[in-house]
Amino acid sequence: MKPIVLASTSPYRRMLLERVLSDFMTAAPQVDETPLANETAQALVERLAIAKAQALSEQFPKHVLIGSDQVAVVGDKILGKPGSVANAISQLQAANGQTVMFYTGLAVYDSETQALQSCVEPFAVQFRQLSDVEIKGYVELEQPLSCAGSFKSEGLGISLFEKMQGDDPNSLIGLPLIKLLAMLRKWHINPLVIRK
């Protein structure tokens, strides 16, 4: 089996991948994440996921590289990682009472054969009506400054929602494991098959 590299320094993605794979490396891809003019959220995350996976192909020439990218969309506005408390509060105020769509791009790239698989996994989150006190309290408690949409659904962020809808709740955290495992199985990489 070819060695696997997660093209990410995200602790959330690493934690998710550790649930299903015991042996992989992580590395930071150098990718410009600036959206292109008139680029849709879906096109953006798929392009960036592919770019992240392929960015490491020279460093890892005989590997399977996994890239992922995520954005949140409220109405027609793309929300990235807030980076500051003020931005996180602003993002959550914009999401208040709204349905927020999350799009997670996923790419699996074989750097030796240059074979590529990619997809975009959607996930909808319906925010409940929140008071400003709740929003500020949440941001202070969890500091979700590196999370698209300004919340951590695996933690206290779940208290912000009325409901969630999608095929894979892991995609909301940043890595759609169901799709990833299906892609890996196409290349005969299966964590359930024990190699001796």
Phi, psi of 84 (to 5 degrees): -145, 160
Q: What CATH number does domain 4-186 carry, 3.40.50.300, 3.30.830.10, 3.90.950.10, 3.40.50.970?
A: 3.90.950.10
pTM: 0.90
Nearest residue to 16 (alpha-carbon basis) of 178, 149, 138, 130: 178
Phi, psi of 56 (to 5 degrees): -100, 5
In this predicted structure, what is the pLDDT of residue 168? 95
Give yes or no for residue 182 having a pLDDT over 80.
Answer: yes
Domain segments of the chain: what residues?
4-186
92 against 12, higher pLDDT: 92
Give yes or no for residue 55 having a pLDDT over 80.
Answer: yes
For the annotated catalytic residues, the residue numbers are 69
At 63-90, the pLDDT tens digits run: 999 999 998 899 888 887 899 999 999 9
Give yes or no for residue 58 having a pLDDT over 70.
Answer: yes
Q: Dihedral sign, CA of 72, 74, 77, 83?
A: negative
Give yes or no for residue 178 having a pLDDT over 70.
Answer: yes
Give yes or no for residue 196 having a pLDDT over 70.
Answer: no
Give yes or no for residue 57 having a pLDDT over 80.
Answer: yes
Q: Dihedral sign, CA of 31, 32, 33, 38?
A: negative
Ranges of beta strands (E only) in the chain are 4-6, 25-26, 64-74, 77-79, 99-110, 116-127, 161-166
